[in-house]
Chain A
Amino acid sequence: MFLRTALLVLRKDFTIEVKSREILYTTLLFALSCVLVFSIAFVKEGEPLEDAAAGILWIAIEFAGTLALGRTFERERYGETLRALLLAPAPRTAIYVGKMLGIVVLLGVCELLLVPLVALLFRSPLFAEPVLLVALLLTGTIGFAVVGSLFAAMLVRARTRDVMLPILLYPMTVPLMIAGVRGTVALTQTPADPTSAIMWIGLLACMDTVFLVLALWTFEPVMTE
């Protein structure tokens, strides 16, 4: 029942996105513009600033993710459909997990384009350890989506949600961003340091678990009026 409900919500979000493509296009365009602007600032005469690629990749993911979170939950505000979801005879946490998985998928698609672009513009060997890179991006993205979906759901009825979301989200996700950046630096340095990268991936997985348990525990009370 739990998984079925989460997948139903995910599928519904996916269907809406396939029809409108509104969030994917805006998120993608924003992330790509961000990387392009940074590349102009940080790449001088074809030589990028050391380790800039790692930071810029994660900044772009975080900014694009914030945009996606806002838009995804804005859809549930219009027509108060979030209330209808909360009224369904399913664990309310399943609704949260479904929304969160939607953000993970959306950011995953963005990352498919972002990573090659960052690698190209910053001449960064991001694909030196592809399996570890995927694991790092996955754990980092899940962590961001876990925290972000909870805050975005909490703020869905707030008038100042657009301002409040980054204010609440960015301080909470700083540890995730640090682990993501340090892990990426470990993978892109010469020679690559897979041991350090695995340590950062492990740390991200631990943070994901802690954040997920906290989010599942708090979602129902914070959504009850």
Chain B
Amino acid sequence: MTISVPSPPTAPVWRLSLSPPKAVTADFDAVSLLDVSRHFGRRRAISRLSLTVNSGDIVGLLGPNGAGKSTLIGLLATLVVPTSGEVRFGGETAQSLGTGLRRRLGLLAHELHLYPELSARQNLQFFGRLYGVSDQRVEAGLTRAGIEERADDDVAGFSRGMRQRLALERALLHDPRLVLLDEPFTGLDDRAVGIVLDRVRELAAGGAMVVLATHDLDLADGLVTRVALVRDGRLLADEAAAAGLRARYRSVVGHA
């Protein structure tokens, strides 16, 4: 599944973007990182990494702290620009697809992207309106997050688990094609973990591409359909998920 196609360095285009977003004419069926490197000063966060995620995949991005998982998520989310190489969404670059591409991306980052001063409903309504999502879907999101009874309470008063569930619904509110989850199980109790696992499987069954960065090998085992093992910004293995993920991780990455 690994593709290694050398490509010229990508330079960000400076432009005045006052025009309306270009519509994405068709949903992309695959996302490819092609020989992507990303340096921060002299530090190489990602080094010549190639990876393709296909429709229906749940890719577990696994590796120790500082392996480059969050940078990879940032690259796929178009928030981080590669120093060299390309990220292609169904054969197109992020620049050629324009702002409409971001309508098809959903990101749940380690930081939850919620305003603590606003209520749960206000948070979802704000982001929903940015994405052109109806208020009915906002209400459905609140119900799925299991916080409809506290929908008008400020997020500042929520537990980490409640915030995490709300943040997941915020990320999925607009029915994204590429779902990027960075440590989605942080702070969740067993019941909430079960809800998130079901939600991820449901998204993949619906044709979404899911990339899941996590340290929790036990939760990843049985959920992910493919495993990408990374260390020091390099892809060590990209393979179909099989039983005994922890042992495989230990043999490739070195420790679990």
User: Given A8-B126, A15-B118, A90-B130, are A83 and B113 neighbors across the interface (CB < 8 Å)?
Assistant: yes
User: Given A8-B126, A87-B107, A90-B99, are A221 and B12 neighbors across the interface (CB < 8 Å)?
Assistant: yes
Could you tell me the dominant secondary structure of chain B's interface residues? loop
Query: Once bound together, how far apart are the Cα atoms of A75 and B117, in whole Å?
Result: 9
Q: Which of B81, B99, B117 contacts A89 (CB 8 A)?
A: B99
Query: Once bound together, how far apart are the Cα atoms of A88 and B105, in whole Å?
Result: 9
User: Given A79-B111, A79-B112, A87-B107, are A93 and B117 neighbors across the interface (CB < 8 Å)?
Assistant: no
Q: Which residues of B contact A92 (CB under 8 A)?
A: 17, 99
Q: Which of A78, A86, A87, A90 contacts B116 (CB 8 A)?
A: A78
User: Given A8-B130, A83-B109, A88-B102, are A1 and B20 neighbors across the interface (CB < 8 Å)?
Assistant: yes
A80 at the interface (CB under 8 A from B): yes
CB-based contact B122/A220 at 8 Å: no
Q: Which residues of B contact A85 (CB under 8 A)?
A: 130
CB-based contact B77/A75 at 8 Å: no
| Chain B: minimal CB distance from A67 (Å) | 18
Please, how many residues of chain A have a CB less than 8 angstroms from a CB on the other chain? 33
Q: Which residues of A contact B130 (CB under 8 A)?
A: 5, 8, 85, 88-90
Q: Which residues of A contact B243 (CB under 8 A)?
A: none
- CB under 8 Å from chain B, chain A span 9-27: 12, 15-16, 19-20
Q: Mark A78-112, 1 if CB is under 8 A from B, else 0.
A: 11110111111111110000000000000000000
Query: Once bound together, how far apart are the Cα atoms of A88 and B131, in whole Å?
Result: 7
| Chain B: minimal CB distance from A16 (Å) | 5
CB-based contact B17/A220 at 8 Å: yes
CB-based contact A220/B14 at 8 Å: yes
Q: Which residues of A contact B132 (CB under 8 A)?
A: 89
A218 at the interface (CB under 8 A from B): yes
Q: Which residues of B contact A86 (CB under 8 A)?
A: 79
Among A85, A218, A225, the most chain B Cβ lie within 10 Å of the Cβ of A225
Please, how many residues of chain B have a CB less than 8 angstroms from a CB on the other chain? 40
A216 at the interface (CB under 8 A from B): yes
Could you tell me the dominant secondary structure of chain A's interface residues? helix
A217 at the interface (CB under 8 A from B): yes
A224 at the interface (CB under 8 A from B): yes
CB-based contact B105/A87 at 8 Å: yes
A2 at the interface (CB under 8 A from B): yes
Q: Which residues of B contact A8 (CB under 8 A)?
A: 126, 129-130
CB-based contact B118/A80 at 8 Å: no
CB-based contact A93/B113 at 8 Å: no
CB-based contact A81/B113 at 8 Å: yes
Q: Which residues of A contact B12 (CB under 8 A)?
A: 221, 224
Q: Which of A1, A83, A217 contacts B14 (CB 8 A)?
A: A217
CB-based contact A80/B109 at 8 Å: yes
Q: Which residues of B contact A75 (CB under 8 A)?
A: 115, 117
CB-based contact A87/B118 at 8 Å: no
Q: List 16 A-B contacts (CB under 8 A).
A: A15-B118, A75-B117, A83-B109, A85-B130, A86-B79, A89-B102, A89-B132, A90-B99, A91-B18, A91-B20, A91-B21, A91-B99, A221-B12, A224-B79, A224-B80, A225-B79
